[in-house]
């Protein structure tokens, strides 16, 4: 699969894919005889993981560390697990904050709904 096809498939620019490869967020992609990147399904799996984790806000450094650990083999399984658990904890804190914000917004919206029905805005 070409870089153009991967870019379209995952909605990630070609420049970003090259950057991810350069800094280790995705492993090095094999090249065709003419030097063009030739993405395999395994490569696409790494791209998909990077896209997912980035959309959740994980730092590039963390993703690169995870890839590096994976490439070192099964001896790093405990380290990879720890890294993922730490990121999960960060996401849970963020999720809680978002849920609290949603609750506050729902309250405000309900006040405005009531105001539209009664003609008066109250914050009870």
CATH 3.40.50.300 fits 1-72, yes or no: no
Digit-coded pLDDT (tens) for 5-62: 999 999 999 999 999 999 999 999 999 999 999 999 999 999 999 999 998 888 999 9
**Three-state secondary-structure class, residue 46:** helix
Q: Are 39 and 29 in contact (CB under 8 A)?
A: yes
End-to-end CA separation in angstroms for the chain:
58
pTM of model > 0.85: no
Backbone angles phi, psi at 31, to 5 degrees: -115, 150
Which residue do the tokens 């498939």 mark? 9
Domain boundaries, the chain: 1-72, 74-124
Digit-coded pLDDT (tens) for 50-85: 999 998 888 999 999 999 999 999 999 999 999 999
């Amino acid at each position: 699969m070409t870089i153009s096809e991967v870019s379209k498939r995952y909605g990630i620019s070609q420049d970003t894919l090259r950057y991810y490869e350069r800094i280790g967020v995705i492993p090095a992609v094999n090249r065709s005889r003419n030097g063009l990147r030739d993405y395999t399904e395994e490569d696409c799996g790494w791209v998909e993981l990077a896209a997912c984790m980035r959309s959740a806000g994980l730092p590039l450094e963390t993703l690169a560390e995870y890839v590096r650990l994976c490439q070192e083999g099964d001896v790093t399984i405990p380290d990879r697990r720890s890294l993922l658990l730490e990121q999960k904890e960060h996401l849970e804190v963020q999720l809680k904050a978002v849920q609290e914000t949603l609750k506050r917004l729902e309250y405000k919206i309900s006040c405005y709904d009531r105001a539209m029905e009664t003609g008066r805005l109250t914050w009870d």
